[in-house]
Amino acid sequence: MDVQSHTFDRLRRFFSGGLDIVEYLGLLVIGIATTIAMYHEVVVMLAAQRVQLADLLLMFLYLEVLAMIGQYFKSGQLPVRFPMYIAMVALARYLILDIKDMNEWRMLAVAAAIFLLTLGVLVIRYGHVRFPYREDTDASPTEKPFVRE
């Protein structure tokens, strides 16, 4: 191995490690911010002494974000389905809360967007089951392969 190749490998490892640290710090900040937002929402519900559908849907969005972060920390990868789930819940929340102020075309557009996201999740799941990644098929029979979508 020549000196230039060795230097390049060291630089690559250094920057890769640095990017990992920044990535983990970013996820940590997002996790803390989401937890704080969730806490504030609970305080608002307790102060109002009532829980409304909007509150529950917002809490569900927060939980999805935390689940996405947890999945990344567990596996080191983020399935593309998680942001799609968050988008579906956010659109459903928007549709439910603002339906009185929407015209028919906007309602149809939001419902169509949710439907398209749902189809996207189904296509991703089907593609993964029908055409698994090589790493998934190389796993030994005793170990369950990580499902990446």
- Residue in this structure with the two tokens 């640290």, named with its chain if needed: 21
How many CB atoms are closer than 10 A to CB 110? Answer: 18
Q: Model pTM greater than 0.85?
A: no
List pLDDT tens digits, range 96-146: 999 889 999 999 999 999 999 999 999 999 998 888 877 655 544 444 444
Which of the four pLDDT bands, split at 50, 70 and 90, describes residue 87?
Answer: very high
3-state DSSP call for residue 1? Answer: coil
CA distance 62 to 65: 5
So where are the chain's domains? 3-137
Cβ 31 vs Cβ 66: under 8 Å = yes
Would you state the pLDDT for residue 135?
Answer: 66
Number of residues that this document lists for the chain: 149
